[in-house]
Amino acid sequence: MPNQPANKPSEEELVLRLRSRETAAMSQLYDMYSATLYGVIVQIVKVEGVAEDVMQESFVKIWNSFSMYDEKKGRLFTWMINICRNLAIDKVRSKEYRVTGATDTLGASNKISVTTESFNSEHLDVREMVGKLNPEQKQIIDLMYFEGYTQNQISETFNIPLGTVKTRARSAVKFLARIFKTRA
Where along the chain do its domains lie?
Answer: 1-121, 124-184
* CA neighbours closer than 13 Å in the CB half-sphere of residue 165: 18
Residue 4 has pLDDT above 80, yes or no: no
The H-assigned helical ranges of the chain are 11-19, 23-45, 48-64, 76-93, 95-104, 126-130, 135-141, 151-158, 162-183
What's the pLDDT at 18? 94
* CA neighbours closer than 13 Å in the CB half-sphere of residue 99: 3
Residue 184 has pLDDT above 60, yes or no: no
CB 124 within 8 A of CB 116: no
> Distance between CA atoms of 37 and 127, rounded to whole angstroms?
13
Give tens-digit pLDDT for 104-130. Answer: 443 433 443 344 444 443 445 677 778
1-121 maps to CATH 1.10.1740.10: yes
Against a cut of 0.75, is the pTM above it?
A: no
> Distance between CA atoms of 57 and 152, rounded to whole angstroms?
27
Topology of the domain covering 124-184: Arc Repressor Mutant, subunit A (1.10.10)
- Average pLDDT, integer, range 11-40: 91
Q: How confident is the model at residue 57 (pLDDT cuts 50, 70, 90)?
A: very high
Residue 93 has pLDDT above 60, yes or no: yes
Comparing 100 with 156, the larger pLDDT belongs to 156
What's the pLDDT at 78? 87
Q: How confident is the model at residue 45 (pLDDT cuts 50, 70, 90)?
A: confident
Comparing 133 with 184, the larger pLDDT belongs to 133
Name every residue whose Cβ is closer than 8 Å to that of residue 18 and which is 6 or more positions away in sequence. 25, 26, 29, 66, 69
Q: How confident is the model at residue 84 (pLDDT cuts 50, 70, 90)?
A: very high
Burial class (CB in 10 A: 0-12, 13-18, 19+), 168: buried
What's the pLDDT at 101? 54
Residue 71 has pLDDT above 70, yes or no: yes
Burial class (CB in 10 A: 0-12, 13-18, 19+), 107: exposed
* CB atoms inside a 10 Å sphere around CB 82: 13
Comparing 115 with 81, the larger pLDDT belongs to 81
